[in-house]
Each structure stands twice: as structure tokens, then as C-alpha cells.
Amino acid sequence: MLRAMLSKELRETAGIVLLGLLAYAYVVVEHVGWQMPMQFGYRSPIPFVFDNFAGNFTVVAAAMCLALGLRQTVAESVRGTWLFLLHRPLGRRQVIAAKLATGLGLYLLCSPLAILAYGWWAASPGNHASPFFWAMTLPVWQTYLLMPALYLGAFLAGIRPGRWFGTRLLPIAGAEVVLVVLGMIPAWWDVGSGVWCILSPAASLLLDVGLIVLIVFMAEVRDY
């Protein structure tokens, strides 16, 4: 039963994952200097430092997380399938866990491909006239670790009752505010990169755990 649930989630999110991978590929290809239409970045002699890869990666990662979280919840409400899913032999927690494992797993597996591909190009000799160290990719990895909170916020908004133009979107807005604050802390205060590379994932993990607890609580108390 659990395998069938996971298979269903993978089928239904495959389109979002494909679009996300294509967007990541576009970002990487554009930054390695190939000429393509509708460019939204610029090539820099120092990859990951003085280019817009981190910004473009953030946009794609955020869009992917939002799309996955809303697709896995709002679509069930629109089709009226929550009642069927939550009254199967699997308990409500198992159903929600299968959805979260699929959404988070897809993001966590697909997104690093863009960082690794661009890093591999930057580390290969002869591609650019500047030094490169893998430590230069650290800010992008930190962004990568922050984005699951946005997915969980979208998931929570999708299963909450209420009107979309009311308080239903508060989890997404709240997650965005926290992520912006976490991303700006090094610029606001004198926090060393070595310290922040530990504190940032820890703070993000606490936020993720809190959102998961709220998601499970909402799934158990809501009357479908």
C-alpha cells in the first residue's frame, strides 16, 4: 500500500520535476557562456562569486518547492480525493509522510545537480581565467538547505482550511520571511562564514521540524 502511494506521488509530480530540471539546465548552460535566447543572468570570470548563479538557482528552487507543495495538496482538494486517501488502510500520518518524503526527496535529489554541474565546469581547467575552490559554492548550498522550509510552508497552506485571499497563505509568507532573515543575517551582523555554515542549516532544520509538526497536526484534526 505504501509503495502504491509513493508511486502515485511520483507520477503526479513528474511534470514539475521535469520542468525544474529543465530550468536548472537552462541556468547552468547560460552561465557557462553558451548563447541562448531570453538570458536572465550574465557570465562572470569568477563563478559563484561575481555572477548571478545563486540568484537564478534560488528562483528555480523556490518555484519548484512551491509547485511541489501545492500540487501535492491543492490538487487533492480540487479533485476531492483527500477523503479516499485518508480512509485507506494507511493511517493519516503514513499518507502525509509518503507525500512529504516524495516532495522533499525529489527536491533534495534534483537541485544539487545544477550546483555540481556548474561547479564541475568551473573546476575544469581552461574554462575561465580565475581560481576556483569548491568552498566558493557554500552560499548556494546554504540556499539549497533553506528551501525545504518553503516547500513545507506551501504544503501546510495547501492542507489548511480557509480562503486563499485570507490567512491560508500565512505559512508560505511566514516561511519566506524566515528564509530572508536567515539569508541576510551574515550581512547584518559580523557572522563568520565558518560559523554561519553550521548555524544556518541548524536553524533551517528547526524550522522544518516545526512545519512538519504543524502539517501532521493539521492533517489529523481537519475534518475531510
* Ranges of each domain in the chain: 2-221
pLDDT tens digit sequence for 145-190: 889 999 999 999 988 876 666 677 788 888 877 777 776 655 444 4
C-alpha cell at 156: 501546510
Q: Is pLDDT above 60 for 90?
A: yes
More confident residue, 153 or 90: 153
**Weakest-pLDDT range from 43-57, 97-111, 134-148:** 43-57
Distances (CA, A) of 8 to 3, 16, 101, 104: 9, 14, 13, 15
Q: Is pLDDT above 50 for 73?
A: yes
More confident residue, 5 or 44: 5
pLDDT tens digit sequence for 112-147: 999 999 999 888 887 777 788 888 888 888 889 889
Residue 38: its pLDDT value, please? 45
Residue 26: its pLDDT value, please? 92
Residue 73's SS3 state is: coil
| Distance between CA atoms of residues 41 and 224, nearest Å | 45
47-51 own/partner pairs: CB under 8 Å, 24+ apart: 47/118, 47/119, 47/121, 47/122, 47/128, 47/130, 47/132, 47/136, 48/118, 48/119, 48/122, 48/132, 48/136, 48/137, 48/139, 48/140, 49/136
Q: Report CA 142 to chain centroid distance, whole Å.
A: 12
Most confident range (mean pLDDT) of 38-52, 78-92, 118-132, 159-173 is 118-132
Backbone dihedral angles phi then psi of residue 194, each to the nearest 5 degrees: -65, -40
**Weakest-pLDDT range from 15-19, 97-101, 179-183:** 179-183
C-alpha cell at 153: 510552508
More confident residue, 106 or 165: 106
More confident residue, 55 or 104: 104
| Distance between CA atoms of residues 85 and 101, nearest Å | 16
Average pLDDT, the chain: 81
Residue 196: its pLDDT value, please? 57
Q: Is pLDDT above 90 for 23?
A: yes
Q: Report CA 103 to chain centroid distance, whole Å.
A: 9
In which band, very low, low, confident or very high, does the pLDDT at 36 lie, cut at 50, 70 and 90? very low
